[in-house]
Amino acid sequence: MNMNKNLKKAGLKATLPRLRVMELFLNEAGTHFTAEDVYKRFLTEGDEIGLATIYRVLTQFEHAGLLQRHHFETGKAVFELNEGNHHDHLVCIECGKVEEFLDEGIEKRQKEIAAERGFAVQDHALYIYVDCLRENCPNRAAKLSHTKPL
Amino acid sequence: MNMNKNLKKAGLKATLPRLRVMELFLNEAGTHFTAEDVYKRFLTEGDEIGLATIYRVLTQFEHAGLLQRHHFETGKAVFELNEGNHHDHLVCIECGKVEEFLDEGIEKRQKEIAAERGFAVQDHALYIYVDCLRENCPNRAAKLSHTKPL
DNA sequence: AAACCATTTAATAATCATTATAAATTAATT
DNA sequence: AATTAATTTATAATGATTATTAAATGGTTT
């Protein structure tokens, strides 16, 4: 199957933790998970996979290009399936909801800006922090970003 | 003097640690410091100001609008003087050098993107990670970003 | 399929950045 | 100068993540 092939290509053995992680990200493409999200998810499903293992697997998958890591202002890293399509993020500071977008104009302008200054772009991160204005936020209580002022 | 006034307005007493921190950022406007940078700087100057105090003061200054906090992909927060001029950052992944820029087109487009989706922009962070291509990087050894793939 | 061996996991402990706590000190006010 | 609340110091605690090491497992070979 697809999963095994991905792992093989990355030179990684098909172990239970890795299959579970891969499966989760494939099944829920587009979702952003922290290491702990993944850990807890498995716990509730009956799989006791150590948190350190989760971290290791996520990092390996990132290096293998299977996942992407992002650092929002929440203090913890989030991972999502790497579907090859670069995009930026809108992050709701009230509920943590994440939406993706891509704007060619912005992409192009970034390259120009770096080039104007003699730099070679390696990567970029654009996070727009918003208020989604939903009164019924599932986790309006568990706010993000206690450090960043608005 | 200027410094005392700033602190007063923020409802903060003019203590030695706060004056030293303020002074440092004023004297080196445009520079980005981590809490530890500040801590070490004072040490070499003979002032033993606790790291926890530095953290507290930096956070207070941030809340008072005197400093701005940024999270690059280095894992630690950096602070710079808030001169009122919003700007984004080009960060060299080889040497840590930071350059600032502002592009009205990008700013405008961001607002549009959020608005199109019914969100209210609270803040944003745009970091372009580049290679400054300087062979003589002062700290080409002490690289940044071991986590983020290029 | 049993044996082999390198890889991987699990269970910790360690680390790094940052925040909280509680006792001692100090700035602003009386 | 005395009072009091704010602040610093020193230290412990926390939260996210990484390192360590012995035990277990996957893939391969016989």
pLDDT in tens, A53-69: 999 999 999 999 999 99
pLDDT in tens, A87-145: 999 998 877 789 999 999 999 999 999 999 999 898 899 999 998 887 666 555 444 33
pLDDT for the residue B148: 34
Contacts of A89 in chain B (CB under 8 A): none
Distance B7 CA to C21 C1' (A): 25
Please name each of the domains of chain B with its CATH number: 1-83 (1.10.10.10), 85-145 (3.30.1490.190)
pLDDT for the residue A143: 43
Whether the per-residue pLDDT at B84 is higher than 80: the answer is yes
pLDDT for the residue A45: 92
Residue B137 main-chain phi, psi, to 5 deg: -55, 130
Contacts of B114 in chain A (CB under 8 A): 90, 128, 130
Q: What is the mean pLDDT of chain B?
A: 87
**What's the first-to-final CA gap in chain A, in angstroms?**
47
Say if the Cβ atoms of B105 and A110 lie within 8 Å: no
* A74/chain B closest Cα distance in angstroms: 10
H-state helical runs in B28-148: 35-44, 51-63, 104-116
Whether the per-residue pLDDT at A43 is higher than 90: the answer is yes
Say if the Cβ atoms of A124 and B124 lie within 8 Å: no
Banded pLDDT at A148 (limits 50, 70, 90): very low
pLDDT in tens, B85-133: 999 999 988 777 899 999 999 999 999 999 999 998 998 999 999 988 8
CB B143 within 8 A of CB A147: no
Angle CA B86–B122–B26, to nearest 5: 30
CB B67 within 8 A of CB B58: yes
